[in-house]
Every structure is written in C-alpha cells, then in structure tokens.
Structure 1
C-alpha cells in the first residue's frame, strides 16, 4: 500500500508542476483559437490602487503620463484605500495633467477599492496597476489591441520580476513567473486563460463584475468575465516590471495573503469547476490551482509513504533526496535571516515558502478567515 501511495503521489506532483505545462502546448497543436488583434485606441482608464504609497506615487504617475497612448483617450485614476500618508496630496499635484483621485474611506481593501473606482471610471477599458509596477512604453497599446476582438472581455499583460540584489527568494520568484507566463501564452492559443497578472491586466468596463472584498480580483474578475461569455487572453508583448521581495519572510506573508484570497475566490466562483458547463476552464482551475494548493499535503504524504519503504535501496535514495532538498531550503532560510545569499538554495527555498504558505492558507480558508487589507512593504 505504501508503494502504491508513493507512486500515486509522485505522478500527481509531477503532473501538477510539469505534466500540465507539457499537456497544454500539446493540446494547442490541435486546438487553436486565433485572436482578431488590431491597433485601436478606445477610451482607457489607467487605474492605480494605492495605500500609503507616498514614496512611489509621484514616480509612477510621471511614468504613466509618458506612456505611448493618445492623452485625449486616457484617464489616469488613483484609487486610494484610505491612505494616511501624503499619497493623496501628491496625486492632487497632478490634477492639471488630468489625473483623478478617487479616495475610498474606511480601509476597505484592494478589491473593494477597485469596485468603487470602476464605477467612477470613464474608460471603456480599465487597466489595473500597482504603484511600483513599471510599464513598457507601448504596454497600453499592446493590451487594448486585443479588444478589437468582440469575444475578448479581459486581457493580461506579461509580468516580469527583476532582482537587483540577487536575493535567492527573488530568483525563485523570477523562475516561477517565467513558468506562469509560458502557461498563460499556451492557454491563450487554445481558448482562454483562467487568471491574470495582478499588476498589468485589463477588463472591458461593460464586462466588469463587482467582487466581495475578501477575494483576489486578478484571479476572480477574469473568471467572472469568462462566466459572462467572454474570453480572457494573455498579451505577451505588454510587459510590466517589478522588483522582487528581498526577504523570505516578506514573500511568505505575501503568499499567505494572496493564496488565502485566491482560495476564497475559487469558492466564490466554484460554478466554473463544473466540467460539463465549462470543460476547459474547469480543467485549468483543477490542474493549475486546486492541485497546486494541495501539493503540501502530497509532499507530506510522499515523505511518510517513503519512510515505510526504507527496506529497499531505491527508496532509501528517494528519501535521502527529499530530506536533502528540505535541508537545503532550511539552509537558505538561515542564510537569508542573517543577510547572506546562498544561490543554490533559491529554488528549494521558494518552493518551500510557497507550499508552506499554501498549507497555512488552506487552514485559514477552512476556518473562514478573511484577508481583506494589505500593508505596503517598501525599501
């Protein structure tokens, strides 16, 4: 029985991380859904959701106003989630350049703040951004050209992390997002992606669905758009950059918050898990989200099952390899705590951070805990 469990878990873990990523492009060889992209300039609201971003908001607004898009077709709006520093005052300095401040009182969280801002937006397309994300100059044009296709209701850009300090956890983040971007590009070829990059994604205002404040918008808003009959696509050439976190504890806290909100979001949109109504979307959500969140349980089961098989040399080797992997991650964590960089630990450390965060998020979700607000972490 232990051997059956061991191999079942090995296959499941392999499928979650590698099998699905290989299967999607294989499906794409036989099922292709072309996009009718064309250069268009619809009315766009560029929405920056911010909380206590006085250190970054001036630079962000200066960069956005310099993007390559007709100014008469662009509304720049900052949605301030009850900021208590000088964020709002700095935004008001840009009033003469057409920047709109939408202050939402009560510290209601990012999703609820976005809901209020979208109501006031004048654009036919809403682009969502954070205060520290740097867009390439043509990113807006690359995003909106997809809306020439009437089937498209939301578009995600490509999110690239930069790691100027070489922090191991940052290296892990970069590899993770390269993996994510590859999968999204393959999903788009077939039909639709099932989630967007939170710092660079857009939605037709007519397709936008207000969401509860305790769920993550860049996952669930696209799912609501899909439920409304639209397609959600990935635009490889619309690129945004952001610096990675430098410390493992910062990444860990952020991952717990993001995954908890995502799990609550899937529960909110659970109708899309019905394979009879939404076969491709259900397949994606199960393979790419649900199974991934269950990985920590599979890993624990794999180690325990392996411990019952140590009477054979092969399983001694697999057990030692597992233990060595976790010890390497632990060593990387220790090095991170004292300000050292141990690059060989980058992948094991990030892998363990994400899966430990998933484990904690699972029990937080099970307990009904909500994570609505966020704290700004800046250098």
Structure 2
C-alpha cells in the first residue's frame, strides 16, 4: 500500500511539476526556436476563418476587431460561417459585409463546428488559414505576428496566445501555466495543443475536420504527422475573458476534453517516441498523464486512508481533505475565497479533474461531442 501511494503521488507530481521541470532542463540543451527575418519574409495570403453559433452578444465587437487588424487588404480574406444561429447574429454580420472582405456562409440547421469549418474551407484559396473564435479580441498586429514563423519551411502550424486576466479566477492562472508549457515545448520541438481560439495552419496541411474531434488539437497532430513542426508565437496575442460561471467552465472543459480524447485515440501512433521523438514525450506527459491524474488522485486518497494510522500519512490525508474543502467553500460565486489564490487554485484544479472524469465516462460510453455551443464569457 505504501509503494502504491508513493507511486501515485509521484505520477501526480510529474504531471504538474516534474514535467515543467523536465522542459526547463531539456530546453537548456536543445533549442530549436524559430529565427524570424522580418525584412526578407514576403507576407502570405491569409484567410481568417470564423465559425459562429448564436454569438449576437459579441459578434459586433469581433467584427470591429477584425476591421482594426493591420494586414494588407489584398492579402486578407474573412470567411464567417454561421452554424444554425437562431438569434440575430447573421443580421449583425450582414451590416459588415461591405466594409470587410467578408464571405458569409449561412447554414440553416446547426450541424456542428467541424461541418462549419469544412464549409468555410471550401472557399479558401490562400496559403495560410487563421482560425479564430468570436470570443477572443485580437491585437491589431496579431495576423502579422502569427504568420511570421511560416517563413521557416519546417513550420506547419502556429498557435497564438490567448490571455485571460489572472484576476478572473483560476482559469486565468491555469492559462498562464499552459502558456509556459507551450512556450517551452515550442522551443524544443513542437507544441501538443494550439489555442482553439486563435491559431494558423498551412492550407496544404489542413485535412477535413471530423465531428467529435477537437479541431485545434487535430490540426497539431496532423501537422506533426506530416513531418512539420507546430509552434507557438508569443507575440500573436488575443484577449479573452474567463467563463461567466463555474458550471460554464466545467461544461466547456468536458466538451474540450472529450473531443481531445477522441482526437488522441485516433492518432495513438504519435506516442511512438522512436519515430516522433520529443513530441511523443510531450504528448504523453502533457495530455495523457494529465488526463489520468483524476484516477491517480482517487486511488491516492483511498490508499492514504488505509495508512492513516501513521502520523505522516495522517498529515497528508488531512492536507488532501483541506484542499478539497477549500474548493467546496470557494464554489459559490459570492464566496470570499473565490477571489483569493487559496480558493481559486483548489476550485479550478478540482473542476478540471472532475471534468476529466466526466469526459472519460462519456468517451468509454462511445459518446462524442458533435453539436457546438460556444462558452459564454464575462464582458471585457
């Protein structure tokens, strides 16, 4: 029982602490950071592809944001796909048709995000496609910045960085942690996940999207499988707010995780480190190990209970109970702990791991997330 306890303890610590340390150490000896020469790089043609569903509360701000982007008009095309919107999203969009180089595709009955993306891809004739969501507001130089790494012919996919203010709950803190990992992975080899709200890919590498598979994750996997690198561009910035409620964040996580699991299990060959090197290590550590943490935690708590007669294990058991108690106390929106680090971190960590458990349950039931409902976020 003692061996089991410490084995599980090390697995949890590895997933969240030792893996980042591994990236830091490896990064000191292996640096494949892309060097960009702004003077010699010829700007590519770009399509900005934006799928939407009932986004009337943010679509006008998003279109104004697109209008402010600094990229040559003759090289930028915007394709907006409304996937069965039942509010006035389409009416708002049509007010901008003449002001933007905008192609609007209206799908009457909602068929899912993958179908919306595929419909949009049918109209693409540029060398680069930038995928974005309605909820993220892009820096005016963000298109310039996100296409710069494509000056290296080995780069096939580039992720932007979505910044959530750290004062907007645990999601903002967790976002900073994820960006740290992504930057380290990018400098060594390839990232294992792009920002679903803002990323770019070479058109030649884009395969038809499949319902139930995370589009952004699948784009990275397809890129690496084709022999190209997927990297992050810290200077391509988008700002987004945290989810409006804990339940919204939980449901979003379940959807994202379920799609991610389906995408990974469709590409298990990428876990072959003999062929894919460090990327396989990253994929195993950053994704699969993280997704196994809830099971580690559950068995850890149970095994800890059977060792409780020893002082050190009694202390560790009490620590676990305190951590989860803080999460419960911080759960109500009006909780004072909700706005403090000692409340935000336990709450978000617990929500994430409960979402992983729910996603595994749905995955093994054979269920897939096909219909798409964008997460409602706080107003900026």
TM-score by length of 2: 0.94
Q: Could you tell me which residue of structure 2 aligns to residue 141 of structure 1?
A: 144
Matches within 5 A, 1:24-173: 24-39=23-38, 40-97=42-99, 98-162=101-165, 170-173=168-171
For 1:127, what is the secondary structure of its paired residue?
strand
Deviation at 1:251, TM superposition (A): 0.8
Distance in 1 between the 2:370 and 2:199 partners? 20
Deviation at 1:83, TM superposition (A): 1.3
- Call closer, same or farther: CA 1:241–1:342 in 2, change over 3 Å: closer
Matches within 5 A, 1:1-379: 2-39=1-38, 40-97=42-99, 98-162=101-165, 170-333=168-331, 335-336=332-333, 341-343=338-340, 344-378=342-376
Deviation at 1:340, TM superposition (A): 8.2
Deviation at 1:32, TM superposition (A): 1.7
For 1:240, what is the secondary structure of its paired residue?
strand
Unaligned runs of 5+ in 1: none
For 2:194, what is the secondary structure of its paired residue?
coil
Q: Contact 1:209–1:225 (CA<8 Å) still a contact in 2?
A: no
- CA deviation digits over 1:105-153, x for unaligned, max 9? 4312112211221121232111111112111111111111111111111
For 1:244, what is the secondary structure of its paired residue?
coil
For 2:169, what is the secondary structure of its paired residue?
helix
Deviation at 1:286, TM superposition (A): 0.8
Unaligned runs of 5+ in 2: none
- CA deviation digits over 1:258-301, x for unaligned, max 9? 11111011111222122222122221111000111111100011
Q: Return structure 1 stretches of 4+ with deviation > 4 angstroms.
A: 337-340
Q: Contact 2:252–2:375 (CA<8 Å) still a contact in 1?
A: no
Q: Contact 2:112–2:370 (CA<8 Å) still a contact in 1?
A: yes
Q: Contact 1:36–1:148 (CA<8 Å) still a contact in 2?
A: no
Distance in 2 between the 1:282 and 1:238 partners? 26
RMSD of Structure 2 on Structure 1 (CA) = 1.6
For 1:162, what is the secondary structure of its paired residue?
coil
TM-score by length of 1: 0.94
Size of the alignment, in residue pairs? Answer: 372
Deviation at 1:309, TM superposition (A): 0.8
Q: Contact 1:108–1:213 (CA<8 Å) still a contact in 2?
A: no
Q: Contact 1:184–1:234 (CA<8 Å) still a contact in 2?
A: yes
Deviation at 1:377, TM superposition (A): 4.4
Distance in 2 between the 1:137 and 1:367 partners? 44
Distance in 1 between the 2:303 and 2:203 partners? 51
Deviation at 1:370, TM superposition (A): 0.9
- Call closer, same or farther: CA 1:61–1:261 in 2, change over 3 Å: same
- CA deviation digits over 1:137-188, x for unaligned, max 9? 111111111111111111001110136xx5xxx4211111111111111111
For 1:238, what is the secondary structure of its paired residue?
strand
